[in-house]
Amino acid sequence: MAISVKVMRRPDPGRTSYMRATLKGMSLTFKHLVRLKKVTLEYPEDQPELHPRWRGTHRMEVHADGRPKCVACGLCPTVCPANCIRLVGGEDDQGNRYPIVYEIDEFRCIFCGMCQEVCPVEAIHVGQHFENAEYTRDRFVYDLDRLMEQDHPTTLLWDPSDPRSE
């Protein structure tokens, strides 16, 4: 196929008026001047509403007696694509399997939510939370106690009334 060249004809700079384009632009500006709908969010006084599937920093669910729900099955470190979960399993005094060490490096985490998806006991969750500032980097490795302390709402990875999107 031959290459065809289309020649654009530009208006002559000396004979062109920009008045119409300017007025068009100004009309938009004035329209916003009188429109009263507020766009700016007065953060942090006003908090944004996060979507139900927002995937933020993690949270570990706990039993009523304060034990973590985690059974140290090892599926989340296995599925984690960023390799950010460190888990050492053990047995507690009641003979239950539990995590002796459970650490998530939130800097490494890519917040894919697969740890929550794979968890057989619904223990680890990603959360609807984004305010994570710290003064030191090492504070971003969340240990088990820290994960259990988190109280933000957890993420819904699917609609509970329609888990298979049917």
Partner 1 sequence: MPDNGRKADTVTLTIDGREVTVPKGTSLLDAAGGLGIDVPHYCYHPGLSAPAQCRICLVEVEGAPKLQPSCVTMAQDGQVVHTESPAATRMRKGVLEFYLVNHPLDCPICDMSGECKLQDYVFEEGREKGRGREPKRVFGRDDFGGDVLFYGDRCVMCTRCVRFMEEVARDPRLTVVERGSRAVIDTFFERGLEGASYAGNIVDICPVGALVSKDFLHKARAWDLDHTPSVCPGCSQGCNIELHTRDNLVQRLKPRENPEVNGHWMCDYGRANYEWMNRPDRLKEPAVGRGSDRRAADWQEVLQLLFGRLQEAGGAGVRLVGSPFASNEALAGLAALGGEAGSVEAGVFRSPRAPDEDPLPGFPTLVRRRDLAPNVDGAGILGFERTGGDDGSGGLEEVAGHEGVIVVLGDRLRDQGEDFGANASLFVYLGTVDSAAARNADFVLPIATFAEEEGSFVNVQGRLQRFWQGMHAPGYARPAWLVLGALAGALRGEGTPASAEEAFQRMVQEHAAFSGLDWDAVGAAGTRLEAAHA
DSSP secondary structure letter of residue 34:
H
Which bin fits 138, alpha (ψ -120 to 50), beta or left (φ > 0)? alpha
Q: Does the footprint of partner 1 cover residue 115 (CB under 8 A)?
A: no
Q: Which of 98, 111 has the CB closer to partner 1? A: 98
Q: Which of 44, 120 has the CB closer to partner 1? A: 120
Q: Does the footprint of partner 1 cover residue 79 (CB under 8 A)?
A: no
The angle formed by the CA atoms of residues 102, 132 and 154, to the nearest 5 degrees, is: 65
Q: Does the footprint of partner 1 cover residue 117 (CB under 8 A)?
A: no
Minimum Å gap between C-beta 72 and partner 1 is 7
Question: Residue 39 in 3-state DSSP?
Answer: coil
Q: Does the footprint of partner 1 cover residue 46 (CB under 8 A)?
A: no
Is 69 exposed, middle or buried (CB count within 10 Å of its CB: 0-12, 13-18, 19+)?
Answer: middle
For partner 1, which residue of 48, 63, 74, 132 counts as binding (CB under 8 A)?
74
List of residues contacting partner 1 (CB under 8 A):
71-75, 78, 89-91, 95, 97, 120-121
